[in-house]
Each structure stands twice: as structure tokens, then as C-alpha cells.
Structure 1
């Protein structure tokens, strides 16, 4: 909630942080501020973010709209040079911004450090595609000869979630700017500070108005969705919010790219390799960022002949986890970002226990964590739950994983393919051909083989989905390609590094160019690859 004078108790040992709005190249102070709290100790305030009004939000859109004509006519190569120079302004601040991210988000320090690097890597990858921007596609006659030019759309609104906000921004903002668009970014309300600091530095190297940042409540920043000058909206978040955004965008027929929730299944076949390496991949696939990742494994279907073996292996691995403050080097899993999210997951677990499922809590709480009021949950397995329970049918977005035995893979396919979610899935088998054949039958945008989650994403591939998970293939190289390809591919775990190392290059970016003469082709469902590289 907003307050006029910051009065809540600040963290000890950390300088107070206060961020303003960024409009037309200037930092704008506001009368009211939003307190940002530490999920590991919610009584402590990390800092305060400016609380925008609708008038301020419209001012940000106006600034982006005014800057658009001049930015759009700058040659693409020069825009790339400007962005590359602006990126150097982030050098030297990574540790400070990562520490701030951990304090406001709750994630472990290692993940925050990786996130700072992912934004830089993705921006550089976008810049590397600059030569494709100015190409003109010629369609020879008879009867006519046509030329297809890719033109920028105008003002782009980018809205990101709390879990990996800066990394996710790197999958859209650089492509929008490189293509000649201007932008207004809305950081997540509970995790705005590190993002604002990052964008203040980056925007200092860009012409005024090209990049604007607005923090505040959803109601206050509604003009970022409804202002007729906004021609593109890129949103990552919940399905409910995505529906609201699509309805708002329809008022002005603004283009929309949505990446929404997922209830991602992992299917463990009877010949799956369940050694330490593969169990480690599955644990990371489900519990990265305490399970708060859209493409995390949300439920596991395992052949009954391997059920006990898998449960024992996962239990042993999860029992080594230490849950505590993200800035504690001994912590392997931080708190959930909000009390509401913790309570939602806890309610799902309570329902499962009440229905007779075994709810197995694992790992240990760090000393003091139990009394800190932090939003902690230990990693938990829910064994053989009824398929109608919320822990199976909904996206938990937390460190709780249902394990369901099966006898017939066709029955699993029926459950998975008739679900509301079609974001990601994974198949675990020693037979790559068998796994690939099953992957083709799954109605999900990305299917990994013997791997899962962001650590297994290939940033060169589209991040597509079916069902209600994504509208438009996100992060595909559409923004900078005159003739974007949509070739489905399958990934295997061969030659796969298992780390959170940013890729050397990336082709992902939402559609931020409007085609002149003819539209681009419809995006079909694409299968992703299990090559390494973060893909939040």
C-alpha cells in the first residue's frame, strides 16, 4: 500500500533505497510511496518505490510517444551502437543490484547474480541481430513485384513478474528498442527496486523518452494498457491478469503478447535414468527459485514400477536443502515472495493432507527462520494425491510437488492434454527416440527430454505454448528477422551443461515490428530444446 512519508522500520546494515519514476529521461518524485519488504523478514523495509498516479502513467506514455519518431528513423546499426554503449553503464553495479534483488525478492544470492548477467547477455544477443533489421524482402512477379519492409510499431508497454523480472525484461525490451520502438516498463509491485536501478543506468545512455519506467498499483498505471498511443503490450504473469490485459488492449486494438501460467507435467517412463545427475535436474526443474517459475515442473507422473525409487531419490535430495534468507551463503532455497503466495501453497498442502495424501516435508529451516515471520515453506512432496486436488489441477508456484504413479501412458496424455495449461512439459527416458515420440503427442509449447525448467532453455528457439498459456510465440527472433522461421525441434540432453550460465547468443524477442505489405505467418506450436541457457 502507498504512504506519504516512509515510516516503517528499515533494514539494518543496508542503506535505505528510494526509487522514483523515470519519465522523459528524468527521475520524477511522487507524493506517495510503496514500501518494499524483505520476504525473509517482512517487518523490515528494503526501500520505497514511487507510487504513480494515472496522470504520471499517461505522462510516461506521452514521453515515449514523443520520442518515437526520432528514434525510429535512426539507422538500426546506430541504434545498436547506442544500446551497446548504454549497456556499459551497468558495469560495476552488478553486485549491488543483485544484493538488492535478493533482499526484495527473497531468492538466493546466486540466482540474483545470474539474473543481472542474463539481462546483459540477452541485450547483447539482440544487438547481434541488427543486420537483419534493414533487410527488405522482395516478392517477384508476375503479376506484381512487392517489397516487404519491417517497421517499428510505436510505444510498447512491458509488464514483468516478480520472480525473474530483469531477466524476463531482457527477452523483450532490447528487441523492442533495437527495432525502433520506445517503451514504458512497469516493474512488479513487490520487486521494483533493483529493476528501477538497472533501468535508470541503462536509460542514461539512451535519448530521453526512449525508455520510461513507472511503478505503482495496477489501477494507477492502467493508462499503460488503455492509452491509444500504446501499440504493443508484452505481459508475463497470471492467466487472470492476462485476460484483463487482453480485454483492455482490445479497446484500441493494441497488439498483445502474453506469457501466462503453466501447470507443467514431467512424465517419467519405466526406463528413465534416475541417477544422481538426473535427480538433480528434476529437483532443479521443480524447485528453482522455490518453485516460483512459470516453466518449473509442477507435477510428476511416474511409471508405477519406478514410483518408489523416484520418491526415495527425490526425498533424499530434497532433505539436503536448507531453507532460509537468500543472502545467507548456506541457504539453498529462499522464502516465497509474498505471504499470500505462501498461504496459497500451504492451503493446497492442507487440502491434500485432509484428503488422505501423504504430505512429506523435507529439508531444514535455517536457525532463526522459524521466528523471523519470513514467507518460508520447506520443500514438500505430495505422494499419490487424488487427481482432482488443487495441488494437481492448479499451478502451485511454490516448493510443493505432487508425485502420481501411472500404469498406462495414454491415461497420462489424456490428463495432460485436456488440462488448461499448455506451457511446458518434460519426458524422462533412456530411449531418446521413445521420449521424442511421446513429446510429439504432448500439447505443450516446449517439451524437454531428461531436463526441465529455465536452466534447460534454448534462447534461440521460440517460447511458444498451446492452450491458455501464451498468446503469440514469445521470445522468438521475430523482432529482428525479415522472414521468421517456426520450425519445431526436439531437444535431448546430449552435450548439455547443467548450470545457470547465460547463453552466448539469443534470438528471443516478442514481435515488435509491424510488417508492411503482408503480415507474418501464424505461429504454430513449437517444441523447445534442452540446450543450456536461462529462459525466464
Structure 2
């Protein structure tokens, strides 16, 4: 990958390499401009979203178009106009067009990753994987094409009304997909291709604080699809309500916080718009007495906790470990944290970037201080960056909180930052009860050398997805249905279940009149 500053030509939206600057040939700022993409046409606006660099105070990464209510209405109209022709195609025909649309998406991945790293704060490699996962999910969805239009026949049941019913699947209409800042491109891949393959048209709303890379990727795909099938609008939430409340929107798929999901659901209720909500998590990782704690397993745990500086909904947020293995696990994580390098996401050698928002940094600092004040054993690691450009950035030293009181917020709330409580237990029953004693139900994990133990404990965790001897977003089976329980949301993404979430059923019943008459006699 080149360490180049990227700018964008406002007229065409194409990336231009303008050279390098700053320390070690690594870029310190980027100027990117993205527009809206509505009905097959790029559109720029006078009002823009200014995208800040979370690692470098005062540095602007770029500008994204800020849609007006009229722009949003145009996007809805474009999706509605394109829907009849798109939905009339067979799933195989749609899949062929979608395969053509994704072809070559990797050509600009290095640039996409550099931009996303700067607007999000995470390290370059994570940003690169973010874009890669979108392509993987897209292609896995296309493999489901032969199942999409399937249905079933309900035969006549002796002694009942003599009716044969054909049950078929159908698309639902234009849909809105709203993604969060942390893994916006990858998360989009969990729903967008499934919605399109099901026969719907779509409007994508990237996050207002990290809109640039996502918009670039979506537009490149949309340009290869029929106009209006795929649209992207960026802007302030104040102008976006129609994406949720318009009677022309059939469904909203939202990934974000619990409070954000509640607001989406409340707004969608006005028009009875259906919703899928993938919300926050407070995932428990449960280490049984026979857990394997070699380097490979500890590396997996470390990544599961600290990837993206802890800002992933399905990261491990609470670690429960059998008391006899507590010291071993703490030592293993400590060894890895001692090697953490806090710094700018594009700098070589950086392993942990800043938090995305200053408010989130303040929250995580607060819950760490609360744990200290309560007498918990808090161990902090790493050194804050010394580069003057990074002073005041959202950097935070990662921390382990050893055996905290379970009522502390570091245990009960989703930290969404580089801090993890490690809590001992003495019995399997105690661990399961503690793991389930939470508002969330997104994911969990069981770590054990015994398959039967893994299945026994995993089956008792109240969450939508369970790993065994593993955990984390980069370890997700992208073919499997994914979604939460309890306040982690509802509905499923990925797999054929993810396609069905964007479909309805229609039943057509054929009455056998002669058989009915015979029954009457």
C-alpha cells in the first residue's frame, strides 16, 4: 500500500494521488469529497459534512455531501421507480447483475482503507479488512441465488378442506440500510446484497462521522447496477427521517446502539415500517477449568477484546475465567498489552488507534476511574503517542480490570473501548448465570478442551451466536444467520435467513370443488 495523501476531484468523485507528507512518508491528512448517488447520478450539495480525524485534532479528512429533505425524497422516489423492473427479474438474473457490479471493487481498496483509517481512527489493516469483508459477504450472498425464489406446496390433508396451497416468497420494496462508524463497509455487506438479491431496491445511509470510504464503495457498485436500484445519501439525521417514516420505505435495517435502535423503532412505528435491529452487545467469554491458554488461543482472545480499540459490538466485553486459571489468563493478556503500540492508524507499527469520538473516550475514562475508586485492581498498559500532531487525539491506554465488583459499569455496560473486566468463577453454573445476567444477547464464547462441555455451556448462553475457543468479528462465519436477543436487537442478517428477512410470503390456495362437494355428501 502506498502512503499517499488522497484527494478527490469534486466533479467526478475519482481519487487522485497527490503525494506524501509528514513523518516517515506517512500521510498526516487527506482531503476527500464525496457526493450523493441517486437514481444513477452523482449529486453534490452546498451543505457538507466535515469529517474530522479522531487522531489529529483540527485535521479534516474530507467532506461529504449533506442531503436535504428534497434529496432524500428524490432517493426514495428513485428506489421506488426502479423497484418494479428489478423485482421482476429472477434471483439468478439479479445475481448475475450483482456479480458484474462487484467485479473490480478491490482495485481501489488501498485508497478506501487509507480514507477509512483516517475518518475512523482504526489501523490501516483493519480498515482494509473492513472493505474486504464487504466483498466476501456480497459473493457469499450470490451463492444463495438458487434458494431465493423457492417456495413450497401444502398438500390436501385428509378430512380437512380440500385445498392445495402454493407458498412463495416475494420482495417487499425499497429498503433503507443504516450502518455505524466502526466497521461500516463490512457491516453493510451483512444486509445490502441480501436485500438486493431478494428483489428489493436500496438506499444506504453511511454514518455521518465516517461517510467517505463507505460512500465511495457503494457508489462504485451502484454505478454498475440499473439506475435507482442502489442509492446512497449522506447527511445530518435531521434531514433523514423520511428514510424511516416514508410509506414508500418497506423496511429499515439498522446497526448501532441500543438507544439508537429504540429511536429507529419508534420512528418506524409511525408508518408501520418493519425493522431489523442489530444493536450493542456485552458479550461474555467463558473460560472453563480445562481451557487451552497457549499463544494461539491467547492471541485470539486479545484480538477479540482489543480489535478496533474495543469498538466492535461483538467484541468480548466480559471475561469469566475459572479461578484456577485466572492468573494464567491475566498474565497472557498482560504480555500482549505490554507490546501494544498506540498511535496513528496509518503509521507503520501502530497496533491500536484512537477512539473514534472524544465523548466515548471520556466515557471509558470515567468507567475506568470508577473501578479504581471502588478499589478494583486496574492495570493500564502502553504509552500515549508523543507526536505533537497527535496531542489531544482520542488515545487511551488499554486496561485490565481484575475481579471487579459485578455492579460496576465496566461490567454492566458496554465499554466500547480498550478496557475489559476479568472475573473469576468457581462453578460452571455460576459462570453461566453471570454471563446471562445482562441486558444484552448478541454473542458469547466458551473456551474449553472438551467439545461436549462447549456445546453444553454454549447452549445455555442467551445470545444469537456462540464461538468455541474463539471470539470476534473477524472470526464470524459469514454464511451463518447473525443477530441478537434481548436488547441486542432482533431479526437476522447473513445466509438465506438474511434474504428471507427482506421478503414476504404469498399463499395461493386452489380449492378442489369436487372433493369439497363429495365431503358434503
Please report the TM-score for the alignment, with normalisation by the length of structure 1: 0.86
Q: Does the aligned pair in 1 maintain the 2:147–2:496 contact within 8 Å?
A: no
Q: Does 1:386 align with 2:386?
A: no
1:157 aligns with 2:176: yes
Secondary structure at the aligned position of 1:68 is classed as helix
Specify the alignment match of 1:511 in structure 2. Answer: 501
CA distance in 1 between counterparts of 2:96 and 2:252 reads 25
In the alignment, structure 1 residue 408 sits paired with structure 2 residue 423 = no
Count residues in correspondence: 479
Asked if 1:94 is matched to 2:109, the reply is: yes
Q: Give the helix-richer structure, 1 or 2.
A: 2
Contact 1:420-1:467 at 8 Å conserved across structures: yes
Q: Which residue of 1 aligns with 2:165?
A: 146
Question: Could you say which structure has the larger radius of gyration?
Answer: 2
User: What residue is the counterpart of 1:270 in the other structure?
Assistant: 289
Distance 1:370 1:271, change over 3 A: farther
| Residues 339-362 of structure 1 deviation map (CA, whole Å, 9 limit, x = unaligned) | 111111111101111111122111
| Aligned Cα root-mean-square deviation (Å) | 1.7
Contact kept, 8 Å, 1:61 with 1:224, in 2: the verdict is yes
Equivalent residues in 2 for 1:57-456 (5 A)? 57-142=72-157, 143-368=162-387, 371-456=390-475
Matched-pair contact (CA < 8 Å) for 2:152–2:168: yes
Runs of 5+ in structure 2 lacking a partner? 1-19, 22-26, 509-521
CA contact (8 A) 1:417 1:443 kept: yes
Contact 2:279 2:484 in 1 (8 A): no
> Quick check: 229-238 or 26-35, which moved more?
26-35
Residues of 1 paired with 2:35 and 2:408: CA distance? 44
In the TM superposition, what is the alpha-carbon distance from 1:516 to its structure 2 partner? 1.0
> 1:134–1:49: structure 2 CA closer, same or farther, 3 Å change rule?
same
Q: For residues 228 and 342 of structure 1, what CA distance do their matches in structure 2 show?
A: 39
Instruction: Find 2:57's aligned residue among 42, 47, 50.
Output: 42
Displacement after TM superposition at 1:78 (Å): 2.0
CA distance in 1, matches of 2:492, 2:202: 20
2:344–2:390 Cα contact (<8 Å) kept = no
1:28 aligns with 2:43: yes
| CA distance in structure 2 between the aligned counterparts of 1:328 and 1:371, rounded to whole angstroms | 12
Task: Give the Cα separation in 2 of the matches to 1:444 and 1:370.
Answer: 42
Pair 91,286 (structure 1): closer, same or farther in 2 beyond 3 Å: closer
Contact kept? 1:179, 1:479, Cα under 8 Å: no
Can you list the C-alpha shifts for 1:433-461, whole angstroms capped at 9, x where unaligned?
12221111111111211111113211222
For 1:300, what is the secondary structure of its paired residue?
strand
Deviation, structure 1 residue 479: 4.8
Contact 1:157 1:224 in 2 (8 A): yes
Q: Secondary structure at the match of 1:146?
A: strand
How far is the alpha carbon of 1:369 from its aligned partner?
7.0
Shift of 1:135: 2.9
1:130–1:369 distance in 2 versus 1, CA, 3 Å = farther
How far off is 1:366 after superposition? 4.0
- In structure 2, what is the equivalent of residue 506 of structure 1? none
Give the TM-score taking structure 2 as reference length.
0.89
